[in-house]
Chain A
């Protein structure tokens, strides 16, 4: 069978588009549709979109789930807490990742691939097990407390587990490569002649950094920050294993609504509101990436 070039191109682009439409985009429509249904004891556990009375169809729209979300303080505080945790973790990631990316970008050409590999390598090992490892480090009888007790720095074990601190550690640890890689890609391209020019003009190193390097690296900073911030808002595993039991993040709330309370409409509404919060960051990231690919 010989396909014309046009048909071939249509197939090449069409197959993945079709796949993603069905398995990525349309599901969001279904989530929205269920978020405006009402719970009922049946399979599936929500009311149909159209109900039939006396031969006439009635559209069943229930906004109760959303109303519930915005009036129950549990949900509002979970959203705010998730945004705070994601923001703080992103800043910590940046504070640690920027100098690391900088050091790699300025290392010799021979050592750069090795350093990059060392950054990416943990990413290839199980995310779940790497988070699990922190339980062993942060526990009351964990490695950190044992070492500090042994050295006599502390007399009582520090309560490190099930704190905000543990969640920050977990997120920074898991998402650090996502911060470093775009930063490195940006920093590596910088023209060092500009820094020399700044030095020749008498700028002190830190001033030259602030005036030349930092502004140039802003796209890298934004890309890295968004790559960390967006998934961190909905993080489920890290807060469940390391976080506070009294303050849940919104990803955990969604999961609990679905699996424990079996309230599909509320779980869907939680997802839709989270998506609404993340739409702008996601679009920003896509714009950044398009521009970067265009520049290549």
Chain B
């Protein structure tokens, strides 16, 4: 009897310690990045381009580049993802086609980010002659976040009660009008939440833009979608690995990391808060 009790206590301790390790790891990590990075953050750092072969100055072009790439990715992925989810949630009735589409979405979600990079290089940069530029990078990132958008949109659409559809159809409204006027507006908050998570993902990815959009350094700001850009994640990678001033530029590196982490986690946090708000205040 005593052994039975002891075993259970041991299990509970193991479970609690696992949770604690995860919480401490992420908490410690964030605090460490904040403490080391905050010193580098200044108005100049956020609004000036790098100077003296990137050992001084700011990271404004990288912030701007990440903004362009992410905005492009979401513009591409959102309509495609929502349309795809509408079919899966509203029209599909089971069967082989649906099964295959679902496996396709799951497999696309599992493709390694570097393979997206190779694909973007092969299709957009080389085959379509876009070259390494904002357009190629945004398309590659858009494809990367497509499964995220599809998944979130489908969940949001499925969350709209069946009675809403029946009421609309019962009034003689066509199926398409029902989807457009009744289902989509009610699913919109959920779809947006999922898209915001997609934005966070796209902003933090490095491997897919290495060969398709990102530049080590650009003297000018981009003026068209066919220009190369600097991007925050790639900037972190470049500063930390390439160059002769790795130790000297540590403060800039920590500062860039802090900006990137704050940006990505800030976006994710907005999505998480929005989601729990929607769940609590749903009127149905």
Q: Do A and B bind each other?
A: no
Interfacial residues, chain A to chain B (CB-CB below 8 A) = none
